[in-house]
A and B are shown apart, each in its own frame.
Chain A
């Protein structure tokens, strides 16, 4: 069986052509699904018997958490492939994902805090889940800072990639924190084995999550296109300088 060769997409111009074709479709589908999911979460899904209306915050909070975690994993895989296979777009992928992942980690933290106030009676507790999620947000900021602060861009990407890879240690800590330590945060309601959420609440959640995911993908592609265009401009400036100097 033929294995897919990722280096076929290593050519920035070929990748850009694909990104140009996919971006509007991802964007349109993402906005449509997100609009439908959030509308259903606000107006069609029932209130929770225990938490009341505040459960509707779930339709923003949970997809943000999933994307913050999934985005970080994607960023770490890109960093790893940059180090192992020297994939020329992998470092750009790390740089593209970092601010978008940080945004969703931030949304997850703030909406969690907003949800916590009416549910737990407090905005914040320093328990395992919340603290490890805050650490994920700081790891994203660290990756962004290292890329931008290093004057030597290749070295900056190498160091940021290393931080992204080391930071994956935090992902299972986030996942299992509610089982390892006492926490105000509830355990996972959706697992591979099944869901503890009623179907009337589950389908809006899945719609919103899919909408956010497609929007996330569209934004990563747009950031990749921005970075590829920047690289082309720099390469051209270097060629001109070499010709003149």
Chain B
């Protein structure tokens, strides 16, 4: 059995899913902090 597709799938998920979560965390954090700072400045 060729193991390569299994390895590619596992690494794709292991890198892609935390990568997507990381981007989501950064976007949410920037948006929330910018909104709070904007409101406090008003």
Contacts and interface: CB of A to CB of B under 8 A. Distances in A.
Mostly, the B contact residues are: helix
Contacts of A226: 25, 28-29, 32-33
Interface in B1-27: 1, 3-4, 6-7, 9-11, 13-15, 17-18, 21-22, 25-26
Interface of B: 1, 3-4, 6-7, 9-11, 13-15, 17-18, 21-22, 25-26, 28-29, 32-33, 35-36, 39-40
A81 interface: no
A93 B9 CA distance: 32
A157 interface: no
A196 B36 CA distance: 51
Nearest to B37: A229
Interface residues of A, number: 36
A118 B14 contact: no
Given A107-B14, A118-B1, A229-B36, A219 B25 contact: yes
Given A54-B7, A60-B13, 4 more contacts: A57-B11, A103-B17, A232-B40, A233-B32
B2 to A, nearest CB: 9
Interface stretch (A109-117, A169-177, A186-194): A109-117
B41 to A, nearest CB: 11
The 7 closest A-B pairs by CB, nearest first: A60-B14, A229-B32, A222-B25, A53-B3, A57-B10, A54-B3, A229-B36
A114 B9 contact: yes
A56 B14 contact: no
Contacts of A129: none
Given A60-B13, A103-B18, A219-B25, A225 B40 contact: no
A99 B39 contact: no
Interface in A209-242: 212, 215, 218-219, 222-223, 225-226, 229-230, 232-233, 236
Contacts of B26: 222
A225 B33 contact: yes
Nearest to B31: A226
A100 interface: yes
A52 B36 contact: no
A103 B25 CA distance: 13
Given A222-B25, A229-B35, A229-B36, A110 B13 contact: yes
